[in-house]
């Protein structure tokens, strides 16, 4: 069975960069979060209903992140972000 994935494009905005025009690390994590949100939407799941489901008294918080920077991402770069689930466990999932 193929692992479901979803791809989006993100353009680096000026406000996400440092004085040298390189995207600030927190912006990169925001891109990852956007990728997760769009992945969920592509599967018919509203992100707010997944991360915080008051009706069912459960949540799906992000409890850990990891990122390896391979090259700088600069202002106005157009990025292609592919999100998929690497692993599903009883109490969580690992996105990549």
How many Cα neighbours within 13 Å face the side chain of 60?
21
State residue 48's pLDDT score: 84
pLDDT at 42: 94
pTM over 0.95: no
* pLDDT attached to residue 49: 81
Phi-psi region of 76 (alpha: psi -120 to 50; beta: other; left: phi over 0): left
Interstrand relation of 58-59 and 52-53 (parallel, antiparallel or unpaired): antiparallel
The domains located in the chain, with CATH, are 5-95 (3.10.129.10)
Which residues of the chain are under the pLDDT cut of 50? none
């Amino acid at each position: 069975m193929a692992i479901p994935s979803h791809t989006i494009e993100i353009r680096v905005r000026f406000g996400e960069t440092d004085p040298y025009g390189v995207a600030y690390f927190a912006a990169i994590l925001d891109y990852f979060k956007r990728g997760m949100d769009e992945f969920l939407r592509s599967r018919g799941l509203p992100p707010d209903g997944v991360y915080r489901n008051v009706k069912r008294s459960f949540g799906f918080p992000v409890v850990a992140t990891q990122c390896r920077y391979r090259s700088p991402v600069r202002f106005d770069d157009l990025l292609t972000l592919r999100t998929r689930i690497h692993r599903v466990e009883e109490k969580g999932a690992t996105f990549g």
